[in-house]
Structure 1
Amino acid sequence: MPNQSSRPKFELRPYQKAAIESVYEARARGVKRMVVCLPTGAGKTVIFSQLTAREAQERHVLVLAHREELLEQARDKLDRAMEGRVRVEIEQGARVASPEARVVVCSIRSLREERLKRLIQDRDIGLVIYDECHHATADDNRRVLAQLGAFDPHWRGTLLGFTATTTRGDGVGLDLVFQEIVYTRSILEMVRDDYLVPLRGYRVSTMADLRALTSAGLDFNQDELAEAVDIQERNALVARAIQELARDRRTIVFCVTVAHARNLAAALRLLGIPAATIHGEMKRDDRARTLENFRRGRWQAITNVGVLTEGFDDPGVSCIAMARPTRSQGLYAQCIGRGTRLAPGKEDCLILDFVDLSDLSLVTLPSLFGLPHALDLDGEEVGEARQQLWQLSLDFPGFEIEASEITLDEIKRRAESFDPLTMDINPEVMAISPHAWVSLGSAGLVLHFQRKRDRLSEMLILDSRRRGANKYQVYFDQEEVASFSTVEQAIEAVDYEIRKMGARPAETARDEAPWRHEPPSPKQIEALRALTPPRSATTAGEAVRYLAFARYARKRRFVRPPAR
């Protein structure tokens, strides 16, 4: 690539500069096929325009895209970046780039073998930019990349992919094409730094039944899904929720099929909400006219099937209604990204999750950011909810959220009233053991007893969360001594060892052992006061349970939020 000091006149954001530097650093290390992963609204086109402007001074650049709207957007932004210094043209359908074009924006679907051969014949391709590169693993797209020479070990060019998601609905990994993700930044980091708007969410439960649906890749079979959700009662519920929660927000509604989109638009219009439908089967001019009317406010809501998941730029959108349930995090992230861009007067984006009956985990706004998928944000901002749950996990070690629909306020209430001593032992454990095992929640179990007078010993069974023979690990006074595939096997082994130790261990391991009912020692009282939250105990048995729970119960159930 040419010298990095020659820059077009663009004011880059700090992370855009960092992304560009990461590309050059990776190329210097010999990486030829790389990915930059940035959320929608981060200005990916600005970044590759800068890279293109530098490269086009000495070599040619190809920009690959899938949708017509992406071609036009890329060409316009590249034109501005080039400032008239080099020609930028489109290769698609009837449009053929001239030999003088140093930057060619191509529809990858148009690049049949002979056409691509002609296009690259007299060009020295130094940089191939692949927009929305999560599509790259498809057979015909890999054929295009192979013909460009991207997989040739002696290729002198660089393949640079841009995407908002590195996951695909069919489960195929991008490592089939690319070698390395050289730069990435999350939505929450972008929101924290005021480059994207905060996301608020509501969970709306429906009675549509998805439990009998089959899979297609990592998501549902589309025909079966449409039959399950495109029903009058559900469409009416979706429309009412949009009316009540979105109010005057301009809203994009994601649907399953064209019929579903049309039916939902009709349900919205019945409630007096101006709504239109857009889909891939529409003529180009009709689609452009519909989108322009939506931008100008003639339509408050627009229902669509797939068309607006990529390449649609309308910063004024401030509500996304996910009327299309999905198991694909990649698809979900693409959809909600349509509402994250900054705009004058826009404070946030509202995400409406319509959650149907399913034995499988549907992606929701909370689950996308590592929170319980059944959490109802009830209008809360997801970044703030993440921060609050992180703090709760620190303030109330071992508190675990039940896998059922619940609001943040209810989680707080339960956490504040949580007492480890009230946790029940599994009845199957009580049935096979005479000893006073104590629950550590999902972490495991602990048992205290005396081998010598006035000296406690401890048997600990921890769930390693691994599979197989090493799932449950047994520790005796902090030293690992054995592992088992089931908790029952571990308990039986510990009970056997305690009986072998003699009468005192066996007797003091029982619930009725006198030491458990004696007052706590001054040292135990001091340790209890130092806990978060501070605890008090009336007996030594309660004290050791509190202290064991504080030591071993899992404290961090959520990923630490990015610091400001």
Structure 2
Amino acid sequence: MFTLRDYQTETIDKVYQSMRQGHKRIIVQQPPRTGKTVIMAEIARRTTGKNNRVMFVIHRKEVLAQAKATFKQQNVDMGLATMGMVQSLSRRLDNLSPPDLILIDEAHHALAKSYVRILQAYPDAYVLFFTATPVRTGHDQLDQVADDIIVGKSIKWLTDHHFLAPYKYYGLGDIDRTKLRKRNGDYTVESMDQALDRKIYGNIVRQYQRLANGKQAVVYCHSVESAKRVMAEFEKAGISSAEVDGNTPAKTRDDLVAKFRRQELMILVNVNLFTEGVDLPNVDCVIMARPTQSLALYLQFSMRCLNPREGKTAIIIDHVDNFLTFGLPINDRDWEQAIVTKDKRTSKSTGDVGPAITQCQECFGTFYRSDMKDRCCPYCGHEMKAENKDYKVVNVDLQEIKNAELVKHRKDMAQKIIQDNLMSNIAGKSPGQLRTLQEFQAYAKLHGFKPGWAWYQYKNRRKH
């Protein structure tokens, strides 16, 4: 059996306290790399120990195999446990024994139809929604299915208490973010192709050699083509590497992961695989070559290397400026507010990137301004220029960008986010349901109407 950490026991105690208070559908937030599966296994052990049935639901095959092994090691009565993929379980509901408790892993997906079918089939079951990031892209949030949330320890607390490794974060900015376009809550592959500087592939290797040489690294790419190019650049530099994606045969993928775990491979380049759950304990460096609008993906990417080890400092290399959208991994986040569906929220933003972030012109280290020591970079000791002077923004060509230009860039990004949210909110409406001029303008843009249409319709509405 696993020996639970104090914070894991504290989370379990809070779950039972919430149940005693009458809650039946509870979100359990735990940061990545903090043993969510062990917590679930212990709750399952206690549940089956009282002769109650448990159902465990996940959406990835790799994670399911690991979870089954953890449940068995924790002495869960597997005769009372149903564990499966959400797609499979949702099709077999008529043939399954009703559970007393449902455990849903990576539960930010839980509003999908297959999950909802399971929840509706067992209205009397207790449900625990486990996730590191209880926030979804799109309108509806987890308050649609849950009635309480238990928030785990912060990433800062876990780092300060040595449950997560400290890290250095470097931003390289090999990207033109103005070319990024969204669909279904994240950037399209086509727009990422256009936005990424072609120099990024060679630069990934050079910056790895400069910042993390000799450390095992996982690289996140947005497409199979880009992943294969990155792998080729590492191989050309004499650094052992492999590429895995959704088309890689399962046995080949398992063999490559096993080689990486045995430290026979230095670099594992992947496309959308090593995000949720998969155990890669010896990763000391993460390289992000894929921009994202998903906070869940960002934290899974950036925190993949934070498993602690004596004397370890992890390295996070961000070639695509994801920190401009989300801040640093260690930012405090208001998860209680994040689970509230957007039209019910208070005015408090859940997308705030937190304390002021700055970058070193010398090493591209990215850190809180408050972490500077005697006005010097905490990573390399380089003296930082005064804030009101020009400074180099993180791109590979070291292009000088004025402070005013950076502020304008961030304002433009914020305006685009607001516009995208407005477009998604009016997408399913008819003209008769529109109220503000901004809504009419967004509707006109969405449907290809002339700009004058919005003003005419808005004036007409006000007359009536």
Determine if the TM-score, normalized by the shorter chain, exceeds 0.5.
yes
1:157-180: CA deviations, max 9, x gaps? Answer: 210011111123445422222222
Unpaired runs of 5+ in structure 2?
333-353, 390-464
Counterpart-to-counterpart distance in 2, 1:215 and 1:406: 35
In the alignment, is the contact (CA less than 8 A) between 1:169 and 1:330 conserved in 2? no
Q: What is the one-letter code of the residue matched to 2:80?
A: R
Q: 1:343-362 to 2 correspondence within 5 Å?
A: 343=309, 345=310, 347-355=312-320, 361-362=324-325
Q: What is the one-letter code of the residue matched to 1:254?
A: Y
Counterpart-to-counterpart distance in 1, 2:219 and 2:138: 23
Instruction: Say if 2:80 is the partner of 1:108.
Output: no
Q: What is the one-letter code of the residue matched to 1:20?
A: I
CA positional deviation for 1:386: 6.8
**1:168 alignment counterpart:** 136
Counterpart-to-counterpart distance in 2, 1:416 and 1:223: 37
Q: Please point out which of 187, 202, 220 is paired with 1:220.
A: 187
Instruction: Say if 2:159 is the partner of 1:191.
Output: yes
In the alignment, is the contact (CA less than 8 A) between 2:178 and 2:195 conserved in 1? no
CA positional deviation for 1:198: 0.6
**2:110 alignment counterpart:** 136
Q: 1:362-401 to 2 correspondence within 5 Å?
A: 362-363=325-326, 365=328, 368=331, 370-372=354-356, 375-376=359-360, 378=363, 385=368, 388=371
Counterpart-to-counterpart distance in 1, 2:302 and 2:324: 18
**2:304 alignment counterpart:** 338
Counterpart-to-counterpart distance in 2, 1:296 and 1:102: 35
Counterpart-to-counterpart distance in 2, 1:340 and 1:24: 29
In the alignment, is the contact (CA less than 8 A) between 2:166 and 2:306 conserved in 1? yes
CA positional deviation for 1:388: 2.9
**2:54 alignment counterpart:** 61
Gap change, CA 1:167 and 1:50, over 3 Å in 2: same
**2:41 alignment counterpart:** 49
**1:277 alignment counterpart:** 243
Instruction: Say if 2:95 is the partner of 1:118.
Output: yes
Structure with larger Rg: 1
In the alignment, is the contact (CA less than 8 A) between 2:230 and 2:269 conserved in 1? yes
In the alignment, is the contact (CA less than 8 A) between 1:64 and 1:105 conserved in 2? yes
**1:40 alignment counterpart:** 32
In the alignment, is the contact (CA less than 8 A) between 1:253 and 1:322 conserved in 2? yes
In the alignment, is the contact (CA less than 8 A) between 2:358 and 2:366 conserved in 1? no
Q: What is the one-letter code of the residue matched to 1:351?
A: I
Instruction: Say if 2:171 is the partner of 1:203.
Output: yes
Counterpart-to-counterpart distance in 1, 2:8 and 2:379: 37
Counterpart-to-counterpart distance in 2, 1:387 and 1:375: 12
Q: Please point out which of 203, 209, 227 is paired with 1:237.
A: 203
Counterpart-to-counterpart distance in 1, 2:70 and 2:25: 23
Q: TM-score, structure 2 length as denominator? A: 0.72
1:118-171: CA deviations, max 9, x gaps? Answer: 012xx4x2111011111111122212222232xxxxx2x210011111123445
1:392-438: CA deviations, max 9, x gaps? Answer: 9xxx9xxxxxxxx9999789663899xxxxxxxxxxxxxxxxxxxxx
Instruction: Say if 2:392 is the partner of 1:414.
Output: no
Unpaired runs of 5+ in structure 1?
1-8, 89-100, 150-154, 397-404, 418-564
Counterpart-to-counterpart distance in 1, 2:279 and 2:364: 25
Gap change, CA 1:136 and 1:414, over 3 Å in 2: same
Gap change, CA 1:282 and 1:172, over 3 Å in 2: farther
CA positional deviation for 1:32: 0.9
Gap change, CA 1:259 and 1:25, over 3 Å in 2: same
Q: What is the one-letter code of the residue matched to 2:190?
A: D
In the alignment, is the contact (CA less than 8 A) between 1:253 and 1:303 conserved in 2? yes
Q: How many residues are paired up?
A: 366
CA positional deviation for 1:325: 1.7
In the alignment, is the contact (CA less than 8 A) between 2:227 and 2:270 conserved in 1? yes
Gap change, CA 1:18 and 1:110, over 3 Å in 2: same
Q: Please point out which of 99, 102, 119 is paired with 1:145.
A: 119
Q: What is the one-letter code of the residue matched to 1:289?
A: D
1:22-59: CA deviations, max 9, x gaps? Answer: 00010011111111111122111111111111111221
In the alignment, is the contact (CA less than 8 A) between 2:356 and 2:369 conserved in 1? no
Task: Give percent identity, aligned residues only.
Answer: 28
Pairwise CA RMSD? 3.2
**1:461 alignment counterpart:** none
Structure number with the higher strand fraction is 1
Gap change, CA 1:363 and 1:338, over 3 Å in 2: same
Q: Please point out which of 59, 66, 85 is paired with 1:73.
A: 66
Q: What is the one-letter code of the residue matched to 1:146?
A: Q
Counterpart-to-counterpart distance in 1, 2:59 and 2:109: 9
In the alignment, is the contact (CA less than 8 A) between 2:170 and 2:366 conserved in 1? no
1:501-544: CA deviations, max 9, x gaps? Answer: xxxxxxxxxxxxxxxxxxxxxxxxxxxxxxxxxxxxxxxxxxxx
CA positional deviation for 1:216: 2.3
Gap change, CA 1:415 and 1:215, over 3 Å in 2: closer
Gap change, CA 1:414 and 1:379, over 3 Å in 2: closer
Counterpart-to-counterpart distance in 2, 1:318 and 1:214: 31
Q: Matched residue of 2:100: which SS?
A: strand
Q: Matched residue of 2:319: which SS?
A: strand
Q: What is the one-letter code of the residue matched to 2:270?
A: N
Q: TM-score, structure 1 length as denominator? A: 0.60
Counterpart-to-counterpart distance in 1, 2:160 and 2:44: 29
**1:402 alignment counterpart:** none
Instruction: Say if 2:138 is the partner of 1:177.
Output: no
**1:293 alignment counterpart:** 259
Q: Matched residue of 2:135: which SS?
A: coil
Gap change, CA 1:381 and 1:240, over 3 Å in 2: closer
In the alignment, is the contact (CA less than 8 A) between 1:130 and 1:159 conserved in 2? yes
CA positional deviation for 1:330: 2.0
Instruction: Say if 2:4 is the partner of 1:12.
Output: yes
More RCO (CA 8 Å, sep 6+): 2
